[in-house]
Amino acid sequence: MTRKQRRLYFVLLGMLALGGATALVLTAMGDTLVYFYTPSEMAGKQIGPDRRVRVGGLVEQGTVRKDGSTVTFTITDLTSTLPATYTGVLPDLFREGQGVVAEGKVGRDGVLHASEVLAKHDEKYMPKEVADQLKKSGRWQEGAGQERAETAK
């Protein structure tokens, strides 16, 4: 094998890897990207029942109902709301009035069937997207996170 042949082999191998990886990435990106929406954005969208979405907002006060290990609650961004249901044990920091991100599919009943509920590790935490949305709609208060933590205790 001469140097020229070897170089050709290297280049072919590299192109094969690059091409294969691109094909894989493009296929995967088409199916698996999960977009983040607020309840207001969800209201104006038609999302197929097979599409996974993430919805973030606050857990609306007084909407959490537990039935055995199934929980229903409403996610709000103080403009629109979206009902959600989840079966399983909620994260330790899941509380009414606190920030939450639920990931799942919206069924024909208009309810978000969440397979995953995230309430992050910090009780002052509010999902960045939710904070942005609240700032946009002018309902953001500095120190709001702190206050919510106090009332939740």
Summarize as ranges the residues that interact with other proteins (CB under 8 A): 1-3, 6, 9-10, 13-14, 17-18, 20-21, 24-25, 27-29, 31-37, 54, 66, 68-69, 87-90, 92-93, 103, 120-123, 125, 127-129, 153
Q: How far apart are CA 90 and CA 70, in angstroms?
A: 10
Least distance between other proteins and beta carbon 145 (Å):
13
Question: How many beta carbons lie within 10 A of that of residue 102, not counting itself?
Answer: 25
State the minimum distance, in angstroms, from the CB of residue 143 to other proteins: 17
SS3 56: strand
Smallest distance from the beta carbon of 68 to other proteins, in angstroms?
5
| CA pair distance 137, 113, nearest whole angstrom | 27
Closer residue to other proteins (CB): 41 or 111: 41
Calpha distance 102→117 (Å, rounded): 4
Give CA–CA dist 64/71, Å, rounded: 7
Nearer to other proteins, 88 or 107 (CB): 88
